[in-house]
Homo-oligomer: A and B are copies of this chain.
Amino acid sequence: MYYPEPMGRLIAQLRKLPGIGPRTAQRLAFHILDIPDQEAKQLIEAIATARDEVSHCSICGNLATEDPCNLCSSPGRDRSLICVLQDPRAVVAMERTHEYKGLYHVLGGAISPMEGIGPDELRVKELIQRLQDGTVKEVVLATDLNAEGEVTATYLARLIKPLGIKTTRLAHGLPVGGDLEYADQVTLAKAFEGRREL
């Protein structure tokens, strides 16, 4: 131990963050000790406020400060169309295309028997409930294009098609095996345009 103890603790906490190794954690810790009080306060407050004020929309499951979220309550969105996504990062990616004007449904993950995640761990029941009143005419299954995402899309298609609702999947313009959040906006917009019925 060559660090003062509170610094060692800070480094240990930073190492828990995704993609932060020991070198980066050390560099961040030294930086955090170096910045002016004002800046440190802003960082701490940003963490605390984001956690206090941001939660999940009870309708679509997206991150939001209000419930329902401003996407679900917007009069400008097409209520006959729901895009189903694994997580809130994908909503950010879809919105960035400026092509999509429907609503969203965030599952909170994908079916993965390996990790013990089944339909009950995801917001599947909530999705089916949203489809009961006949407003929704099409569900776009935009789960990630890897094994778990495909399995989830297939599973959902089997549940939704019997309700007489059109079920589509994003076109394979996206790189196979890639996460939706890393797609560039043009590719993603193209993929949405070329969506195909399942």
Is A50's CB within 8 Å of the partner chain B?
yes
Chain B residues with CB below 8 A from A39, complex form: 16
Q: Report the minimal beta-carbon distance from A96 to chain B, rounded to whole angstroms.
A: 7
State which size class the interface on A falls in.
Answer: 35 or more
- Chain A contact surface mostly: helix
Chain B residues with CB below 8 A from A12, complex form: 46
Chain B residues with CB below 8 A from A95, complex form: 2
23 contacts between A and B (CB under 8 A): A2-B95, A3-B63, A4-B64, A4-B65, A6-B46, A6-B50, A6-B53, A6-B54, A7-B54, A9-B46, A9-B49, A9-B50, A10-B49, A10-B50, A12-B46, A14-B46, A18-B28, A18-B31, A19-B28, A30-B88, A32-B47, A32-B50, A40-B47
